[in-house]
Structure 1
Amino acid sequence: MMLPILLLSAAGFTVLTTEFIIVGLLPGIARDLAVSIPQAGLLVTLFAFTVACLGPFLTAYFARFERRKLFVSIMVLFGLANLLAAMAPNIEVMAVARLLPALALPVFWALASEAAMDLVGAEQAGQAVAKISFGVVCATVFGIPVGALVADALGWRAAFGLLGALAFAKALLLFFFLPTIQVHSAETSLLKQFRVLRSLEMQGHVLLSVLVFCGMFTAYTYLADILERLAGFNGTVVGWCLMAFGAVGLIGNSLGGHAVDRHPLWASIGFSLFMIMGMVALIPSIHSTTALAIAMAVWGITQAALFLVSHVRLMKTAPETPAFGASLNISGANLGIGLGAIVGGHVIDNFGLGSLGYAASGFIGLSILLALVLMRGPLSEVTQV
């Protein structure tokens, strides 16, 4: 059981690094392609909105395909897209390079999560997805900050080129070592999968993911810019800061995996409360090394935990079609990511970087209120599915 999970985790590292590496590269991309930081931030929005709009449909369709061939094809697509990004002469070509992997990310992440859950059983879904999510956390620990360090030394194009080569390597590993994974017969029917959307509870959980991720990425999209302009760090220091931010996420990933199996909504509320503390404390702590480290650690731990908690929460809400439930979380999360990037850009233009934490915390606060409302419904009875 461990080999397939490790292979999928390694592939997940490349998939999620492709989505989020741009966070550490935004300043360089904006300078080289002659656009503003908020305009470059729209690349985050494009990726996120593509996933949000098409993710459930693509996942429902591709759920019928044999997993090994599908995952290999996805990794090849990611390799080609990253090479195109490395050669992009303008913002338009870069937009195309970001669009292509956005089509494949929700399919991979939803079906890989389902495969992990099948291997260990639904009652340990949180811990199974936590193992897959280890690759996601490693993407924030190593992928994003190493990308920033490579970009600082060799340019942001080199970072995308390296990521493209890594994607091709992962495709080979999956081709030779990933076994055949059973396809769920229940998920071959598009109509049956989309029926879960009739549930008001499911709609509420999707909205909860939108709010959580909107709050996260209102600030996180521009974290590198905050560290450069407000803290006065150079590119190398920013890269190490992002690595530390991701490293503490290993703690959050473990905590989230256990907490979500006990109670999904309480886990969301608890981590959200601590995230607000970290976000609000960041700017006032910007010139104190110790205080800044503590604020970023709290934020990093809770962000990693909420990635996992949100994902498993939707899978548990749709136990008959867990991959489709996961795709709905991915869709809602990326809608939130895209909105967060837009909101963050407007906050910067109108109120300055120093206001990002407060704007982000407002959305996280709304997510807590919605979670409390949802706890009055059927899921309040559910601790394990």
Structure 2
Amino acid sequence: MPIALFALTLSAFAIGTTEFVTVGLVPTISSDLNISVPSTGLLVTMYALGVAIGAPILTALTSKYNKKYILICAMVVFSLGHVVAALAPNFTTLLIARIVTGLTHGLFFSLGATIATSLVSKEKEASAIAVMFGGLTVAMVTGVPLGTFIGQNFGWRETFMLISILGSVAFIGMAFLIPKEVRTTTPAKFFQQLKILGNPRLLIAYLITIFGFGGAFIAFTFLVPILQDITKFSPSIISIILLVFGLSTVVGNFIGGKLADVFGVNKVLFGAYFCLSMVLLSFNFFVQNQYITIVILILWGIFAFGSSPALQANVVKLAKINEPHAVDVASGFNISAFNVGISLFSFLGGAIVTNMGLVQTILFSSGVVFSSLFLIWIGYMINNKVVLSQTN
């Protein structure tokens, strides 16, 4: 793989740390700022909303500019935003800082995915995206457990300051390793790019991302409170469990990318989300058993993040065929879909916690993920129909 891919991976690592570390800091921030756990969950929801807005809109607005420099600028703002978060005097300021950094996250991944595929041959596109997304999953292994440990023992502000430093290292790495010019298509006009939402094949692909990947966040947003209050793990053990969970996401990410290249994205997505829904259903029944819970979390990480490269590769492939002048924006809409799902279902999770309790979030997650199987089937039928009509 080209070394430029690993520059993208480095940036993805910093972004992945901040995206998921907040889940581990929910109880700490809630206690320090004297706000409820569901309200603290808005830090996850609003960050995801920032990503959802930033991915397609900022990508379309910056499509005429040099992609390397746009990525660097995004990471500079990302780093400064975390300084503001670390120094935030109140919850409102912290929430605004999370939204701003979410905007840069969306822009980075929408451009990064298309740059990653442009650096390799067609048959290696899913693997290239898996390498970039590997930064997210490696962050789950090291960044998130470390950030959670620092937050629980030294303070959540120190965690955000550490992420700012990671972001600074990342944009320096991109400045040296990413080539100035990369192979991309000529962008269409702004409103022409946004018309891709009218393409049914891409729209179905985005819905699969929202329900399949996002559905698990009904429970995942409140995973640490579940492990503390229901499974009765101590905070120190939870940090280790998050490390193990992170390792499983790395395994799932790279296996998912390889399998998507070999068997195709539809088979990988159907298998991953069927298994994930069953794993979550099992968690609902065994949440009080510490040993079984650890096994379930390992499987959760493998199946949930094994789908990520396939989801993104699917959209990039469909866009190159159906919307060749708006591939970056199509990619951006899928990054948006990831985070619309996270935002929507983490918000739903907060409502479920408030009205029904923590455990019920697990069963709802299982049901939503299972519903994505129907969308995968629809997408498969639509794409096959198009191929057959073109053949005839």
Asked if the contact 1:151–1:158 (Cα under 8 Å) also holds between the matched residues in 2, the reply is yes
Q: Which residue of 2 aligns with 1:264?
A: 265
Aligned to 1:334: 339
User: 1:148 touches 1:235 (CA, 8 Å); kept in 2?
Assistant: no
Q: What is the root-mean-square deviation of aligned Cα atoms in Å?
A: 1.8
Letter in 2 for 1:293: I
How many angstroms apart in 1 are the aligned matches of 2:234 and 2:206? 38
- Give the equivalent residue in structure 1 for 2:20: 20
Residue 329 (structure 2) pairs with residue 324 (structure 1): yes
Cα distance between partner residues in 2 of 1:289 and 1:47:
31
Determine if contact 1:252/1:304 at 8 Å carries over to the other structure: yes
Deviation at 1:46, TM superposition (A): 1.1
How far apart are the structure 1 equivalents of 2:63 and 2:141?
30
Asked if the contact 1:213–1:340 (Cα under 8 Å) also holds between the matched residues in 2, the reply is: no
The size of the alignment, in residue pairs, is: 382
* Structure 1 residues 240-319: aligned runs within 5 Å: 240-261=240-261, 262-319=263-320
Cα distance in 2, alignment partners of residues 288 and 211 from structure 1: 28
Partner of 2:390: none
1:369 matched to 2:377? The reply is no
- Alignment partner for residue 360 of structure 1, among 356, 365, 380? 365
Contact 1:279/1:361 (8 A) holds in 2: yes
Deviation at 1:249, TM superposition (A): 1.2
- What TM-score, normalized by structure 1, do the two folds share? 0.94
The answer as to whether partners of 2:53 and 2:106 remain within 8 angstroms in 1 is no
CA distances 1:234-281 after superposition (whole Å, capped 9, x unpaired): 222111111111101122112210232332222111100111122122
Distance 1:54 1:132, change over 3 A: closer
Cα distance per residue 1:344-364 (max 9 Å; x no partner): 111112221111111001111
Q: Distance between the aligned counterparts of 1:313 and 1:34, measured in 2?
A: 43
Q: Deviations over 1:180-217 (max 9, x none)?
A: 13263422532442332221122121122111233111
Unaligned runs of 5+ in 1: none
User: Share of identical aligned residues, percent?
Assistant: 28
1:149 maps to which residue?
A: 149
Distance in 2, Cα, partners of 1:183 & 1:267: 28
Gaps of 5+ in 2: 388-392
| 1:138 aligned partner | 138
Task: Quote how far apart the aligned CAs of 1:170 are.
Answer: 1.7
Contact residue 54 and residue 107 of structure 2 kept, 8 A: no
Which of structure 1's runs of 4+ aligned residues deviate more than 6 A?
Answer: none
Kindly indicate whether the alpha-carbon contact (under 8 Å) linking 2:284 and 2:363 is maintained by their aligned counterparts in 1. no
Partner of 1:173: 173
- Three-state SS of the structure 2 residue aligned to 1:248 is helix
After superposition, the Cα gap between the structure-2 partners of 1:64 and 1:123, relative to the gap in structure 1 and judged at 3 Å, is farther
Give, in angstroms, the shift of residue 309 of structure 1: 2.0
CA distance in 1, matches of 2:122, 2:334: 17
CA contact under 8 A between 1:60 and 1:193: conserved in structure 2?
yes
1:295 is displaced (CA, Å) by 0.7
Q: Deviations over 1:120-144 (max 9, x none)?
A: 1233210110111111111111111
- Answer whether contact 1:64 1:188 (CA < 8 A) is retained: no
SS in 2 for 1:186: coil
